[in-house]
Amino acid sequence: MTSEAKADIDARAKERLRSDEAAMTGSRRKSFPLSAAWREFWRHPSPWFIGTTLVGALIARLFVGDWRLTDAIVPVIMVASFPFIEWIVHVVVLHWKPRTIGKVTFDPLVSRKHREHHADPRDVPLVFIPWQVLAWLLLANTAIALFAFPRLGLGLTFLTTLAAIGLVYEWTHYLIHSDYRPRSRTYRALWRNHRLHHYKNEHYWFTVTTSGTADRVFRTYPRPGDVSTSPTVKALHAKEATR
């Protein structure tokens, strides 16, 4: 790729980012209050799947009782480890490159949907975890909660915490891609971090619910000016991708 072509890609990417930020925070921003974002959020299947699981697991957990110290430790461990799990899933699963073995091509639905999400980050349905994938994930984790823990109460603590984390992830990811104007410093950091992943370079800034946590540990949190704009940020795995 010539230096002129790279410069053009950088210029177009910067303009997309400026335009998006201006629409969100500048004089051209759309009026989109948090209440409207919340209503839109619940029009999609994923929040209902996770929310129903959360309510059911919480009611069951309160009914079972048998509270012990591990019921406080497990949620802390899960929350602390989530940025790293989120990073690994994003890199390994969501950015999965289709592989063909013989006549069989391995290309999971969630990976295909994520490529579509990169192609059009403003398409709201593509922001959410596909319900087909979410359904079996919730069933699998419910089975883990019921049968893989030494006591039922701890398993339900795990499931309740997992559903709560999942709902926070879906809400954060949706809100970042919505027209809601960032207000707090923390949210603005998340918002800009994820937009760099979508508009600057898809090889960096993988976390969604935090910024500069797992990305710093795994060295995918560079200064934006030190990284060239990827020509395939909207077309994952194209041959001309650069880092």
CA 209, CA 194: separation in Å to the nearest integer? Answer: 9
User: Is the overall model pTM greater than 0.75, yes or no?
Assistant: yes
pLDDT over 50 (residue 166): yes
- What pLDDT is recorded for position 32? 81
Residue keyed to tokens 């201006």? 22
> Is 28:117 a contact under the CB 8 Å cutoff?
no
Mean pLDDT of the residues in the chain: 89
Q: How far apart are the first and last CA of the chain?
A: 13
Domain ranges of the chain: 3-226
Beta carbons within 10 angstroms of residue 79's beta carbon: 14
pLDDT of residue 30: 55
pLDDT band at 11 (very low <50, low <70, confident <90, very high): low
> What is the widest separation between alpha-carbon atoms in the chain?
66
Average pLDDT over residues 96-116: 93
Average pLDDT of span 160-187: 95
3-state SS string for the chain: CCHHHHHHHHHHHHHHHHHHHHHHHCCCCCCCCHHHHHHHHCCCHHHHHHHHHHHHHHHHHHHHCCCCCHHHHHHHHHHHHHHHHHHHHHHHHHCCCCEEECCEEECCHHHHHHHHHHHCCCCHHHHCCCHHHHHHHHHHHHHHHHHCCCCHHHHHHHHHHHHHHHHHHHHHHHHHHCCCCCCCHHHHHHHHHHHHHHHCCCCCCCCCCCCCCHHHHCCCCCCHHHCCCCCCCCCCCCCCCCC
Query: Does residue 181 carry a pLDDT above 90?
Result: no
Query: pLDDT tens across 60-105, in order?
Result: 999 999 999 999 999 999 999 999 999 999 999 999 999 998 889 8
Q: What is the mean pLDDT of residues 118-131?
A: 95
**pLDDT band at 183, cuts 50/70/90?**
confident
